Structure 1
Amino acid sequence: MWYLEAFDNNTNRLSKDYPLHDMTVEIVKDILGIDDNDSDLPVIARQSGVPLDKVLEFAKYIHEPIEIIENCEYEIGLFAD
């Protein structure tokens, strides 16, 4: 399953993670403007940074309220459940 993760900038620890229901690699690439030809690893095999202004674009795939924390760095990745 795809997850959106928030990492606290002060501690570098995971603050919150959100499962992204019905997420696909194509949606991730579209929202983040990723072209797999620009990297050694395809987007499905790595974590990708999510700018704060893009976090809410993932919210419709989260089944709980999301709070954007300004002091966090956001990443998206595909993890085995």
Structure 2
Amino acid sequence: MWYLESYDNQTDLIADSYPLTAITGDEIRELIDVDETELPLEMGPYPVPLADVPKFAKYIEGDFRISSDNEYFIGLFTD
């Protein structure tokens, strides 16, 4: 499953992990600029610019909070 994860800049720990329901690799490519010249998308995680984070809200069920104190990454992780 694809996840959007936020890391606290002060602690470098995961602050939140959001499962992205029903998103595809093609949709991710459309939402953010992914450089796949060296590794395929599935080999992420890839950084998500703060300005692009809200684009993922429609794929997240439940509470979703965006913090400018965090860095965001998207990756394909097993459950």
4+ aligned runs moved over 6 Å, structure 1:
none
1:7-66 deviation line (CA, Å, top 9, x unaligned): 000010000000000011101111002252xx3111111100001111110000000121
Match of 1:80 in 2: 78
Q: Percent identity?
A: 41
Q: Does 1:32 align with 2:24?
A: no
| Contact 1:20/1:62 (8 A) holds in 2 | yes
Residue 13 of structure 2 aligns with an amino acid whose one-letter code is R
Output aligned runs, 1:1-81, within 5 Å: 1-36=1-36, 39-81=37-79
- Extract unaligned runs of 5+ from structure 2: none
Aligned length: 79
Higher share in helix: 1
5+ residue gaps, structure 1: none
SS of alignment partner, residue 60 of structure 1: helix
TM-score, with length taken from structure 2: 0.94
